[in-house]
Chain A
Amino acid sequence: DTEVTQTPKHLVMGMTNKKSLKCEQHMGHRAMYWYKQKAKKPPELMFVYSYEKLSINESVPSRFSPECPNSSLLNLHLHALQPEDSALYLCASSPGGGYGYTFGSGTRLTVV
């Protein structure tokens, strides 16, 4: 299995809702990532997990809460989001060492 799987593909949520994005990989990669991508912009790094521990938080607001339950799974918990948080959320994984990044197909999030 050489894929990163993200669910759901599309999500619409209200500003008072709580929802979660899920990401799964079975390549044995030790590093997993969340990126946010607005239309016509490049992906922006949000979080990096290494060996199931949060190693990088790029000053992301606390309404985004990442979780890594095990080496294959990465979640992003969402609470009290704003309309400007609407974007494509991409998950990625890599073996580490600066190579071999694999991206999921993303979750298109709309906050209403």
Chain B
Amino acid sequence: GQNIDQPTEMTATEGAIVQINCTYQTSGFNGLFWYQQHAGEAPTFLSYNVLDGLEEKGRFSSFLSRSKGYSYLLLKELQMKDSASYLCAVPPRNTDKLIFGTGTRLQVFP
């Protein structure tokens, strides 16, 4: 089965850096996704990691350690519009499923 855990809520200040962690246990690893979701809207794709290491994309970076079953999303230069839920998700090998973690609600304060 799959077990994907994230902190439930985080708060941060505008302009700061925040790291959102995700730990997972899955039957066969096939990559890990990060999505952003504003309230009442669809999840939007942020990043995809399949190899160990850091992937940087503008203000957002994502890190993966397959041996530790661990990933994090790093958000730099936080803006108010970054207040949203952040979901990590894994597609177990040999299935078409995409299973979401528990999600982290991030609030950015001025």
A interface residues (Cβ-Cβ under 8 A, vs B): 31, 33, 40-45, 48, 50, 55-56, 88, 90, 92, 94, 96, 98-99, 101-106, 108
Contacts and interface: CB of A to CB of B under 8 A. Distances in A.
Contacts, number: 55
B43 A45 contact: no
A98 B105 CA distance: 25
Contacts of B91: 98-99, 101
Contacts of B33: 101
B41 A42 contact: no
Interface residues of B, number: 23
Contacts of B97: 45, 48, 56
Residue of A43, A90, A102 most packed against chain B (CB within 10 A) = A43
Given A90-B42, A105-B41, A105-B42, A45 B98 contact: yes
A103 B46 CA distance: 13
16 contacts: A42-B87, A43-B87, A45-B97, A45-B99, A48-B96, A48-B97, A88-B40, A90-B43, A98-B30, A98-B91, A98-B98, A99-B31, A99-B48, A101-B33, A106-B40, A106-B41
B2 to A, nearest CB: 10
Secondary structure call for the B interface? loop
B59 to A, nearest CB: 22
Given A96-B96, A98-B31, 5 more contacts: A41-B103, A43-B87, A48-B97, A101-B45, A104-B42
Interface string B22-61: 0000000011010000001111110010000000000000
Interface in B85-106: 87, 91, 93, 95-103, 105
Contacts of A55: 96
